[in-house]
Amino acid sequence: MEFSDLEVKLVDVNDMTRVQYLREQEKPVKHISFHPNGRTLTVSCTDGVIYVYSIDGPVPELTKKIDGIVKRLESEEQASAEVAWHPDGRAFAAPTATRGELNRMRK
């Protein structure tokens, strides 16, 4: 996996010819987190939006945009906006601007 400012490139390590791109982000990418099942990916961006992708199929699908949980950040800023998934995948935690709550994702 590698990412530039606005694009995430996923490469299957078992088959290097299988490459997927995530390009729906409107601002630079700050952090990427995989759901424990490996079929969902969250991308936290500098605009304070968390993009949730399903990467289970042949083409990644943006399933949800969550705004207002993580703080808006500059690309070079050391602060984190990374999502941390609970080991059973029922919920994730993310640093909030107000140091607030846990956000639940339901499948």
Q: How confident is the model at residue 104 (pLDDT cuts 50, 70, 90)?
A: very low
Q: Would you state the pLDDT for residue 83?
A: 86
* pLDDT of 95 above 80: yes
Q: How confident is the model at residue 62 (pLDDT cuts 50, 70, 90)?
A: very high
User: What CA–CA distance (Å, rounded) separates 45 from 70?
Assistant: 9
* pLDDT of 2 above 70: no
The candidate with the shortest Cα–Cα distance to 73, out of 9, 15, 28, is 28
- % of the chain residues with pLDDT over 90: 40
- Spatial CB neighbours of 105, under 8 Å, sequence gap ≥ 6: 52, 64, 90, 91, 92
* pLDDT of 72 above 90: no
